[in-house]
Amino acid sequence: MARKDRKQIVQLQNRSLISMTSPKSPIAEQFRTVRTNIQFSSVDQELRSLVVTSSGPAEGKSTTTANLAVVFAQQGKKVLLIDADLRKPTVHYTFRLENHTGLTNVLTKQKTLEETVYVTGQENLWVLPCGPIPPNPSELLGSKGMIALLEQAKEDYDMIILDTPPVLAVTDAQVLANITDGVVLVVSSGKTETEAAKKTKELLESAQAKILGVVLNNKKTQDSQYYYYYGGK
């Protein structure tokens, strides 16, 4: 698997990457539980590409996505984390990366996938940042180029995880859900409204998405933050 050595090794000192910085913590263990349940949720089909989304903003979606990528990599799988939020990208902040080039450059054929991925401090984990924010995010994500990129990535990686915008804000997550193997929905305890979660589920199902389950985020138990996973719909 060809990689550009000039790409920086990311120095991680970010509390949001607790699965990497504190792998023995209770929260990291919960992310490993989520990983296990995701793997068991798809018995008849090998899960190679995964969309993580939420109903609305600030529900912990991107933190959940990054930590899931870490725990899959810790399992020994070669993981590519793609920042597919072409409107408000955050993955490059989480991993302290440059965002001069990325997914949008690959989709517009300005760069290749190999030229734009970053290695990280976590073994087996690579990151493809968003790149320059485009004027037509939905069109890019729904293009034949996106399908081709996912197929190409499957040749080099065991798991591709996509961080996408909230479902109720734009159609981007629905577009990607239709061309990937499964979707995990992140909801925030005490914040995500029930009707919003139901509407999100309906929109994803209308896009023929395979909803693997829901991660309940920010659930307080004994003054600690835990993440729970509920399989099924």
Please spell the DSSP secondary structure of 77-105, one letter per residue. --EEEEE--SSS--HHHHTT---SSSHHH
Local confidence band at 220 (pLDDT 50, 70, 90 cut-offs): low
The fold adopted by the segment(s) 18-231 is Rossmann fold (3.40.50)
Identity (one letter) of the amino acid at 24?
A: K
The share of the chain scoring above pLDDT 70, in percent, equals 86
- Convert 165-200 into a string of H (helix), E (strand) and C (coil): CCCCCCCHHHHHHCCCCEEEEEEECCCCCHHHHHHH
Query: Residue ranges of the domains in the chain?
Result: 18-231
What tens digit of pLDDT does each residue of 58-107 get? 888 999 999 999 999 999 999 999 999 999 999 999 999 999 999 999 99
Give the SS3 label for residue 201.
helix
pTM reported for the whole predicted model? 0.87
Main-chain dihedrals φ then ψ at residue 65, nearest 5 degrees? -60, -50
- Residues sharing a CB contact under 8 Å with residue 25, sequence separation 6 or more, in sequence order: 18
Local confidence band at 11 (pLDDT 50, 70, 90 cut-offs): very low
What tens digit of pLDDT does each residue of 108-126 get? 999 999 999 999 999 999 9
Task: Report d(CA 48, CA 158) in Å as an integer.
Answer: 6
Under 8 Å between Cβ of 99 and 129: yes
- In this structure, what token pair is assigned to residue 204? 């994803």
- In this structure, what token pair is assigned to residue 38? 């995701």
Starting at the earlier edge strand, list the strands of the sheet with 224-231.
118-119, 125-128, 79-83, 159-163, 49-54, 182-188, 211-221, 224-231
Identity (one letter) of the amino acid at 224?
A: S
Local confidence band at 57 (pLDDT 50, 70, 90 cut-offs): confident
Task: Report d(CA 161, CA 158) in Å as an integer.
Answer: 10
DSSP result, 55-77:
SSSSSSHHHHHHHHHHHHHHTT-
Local confidence band at 149 (pLDDT 50, 70, 90 cut-offs): very high
Local confidence band at 191 (pLDDT 50, 70, 90 cut-offs): confident
Task: Report d(CA 34, CA 28) in Å as an integer.
Answer: 10
Q: What is the pLDDT of residue 90?
A: 93
- Residues sharing a CB contact under 8 Å with residue 5, sequence separation 6 or more, in sequence order: none
For residue 50, list its beta bridge partners. 161, 182
Residue 149 Cα distances to 56, 105, 117, 152, angstroms: 27, 12, 12, 5
What tens digit of pLDDT does each residue of 12-44 get? 334 589 999 999 999 899 999 999 999 888 777
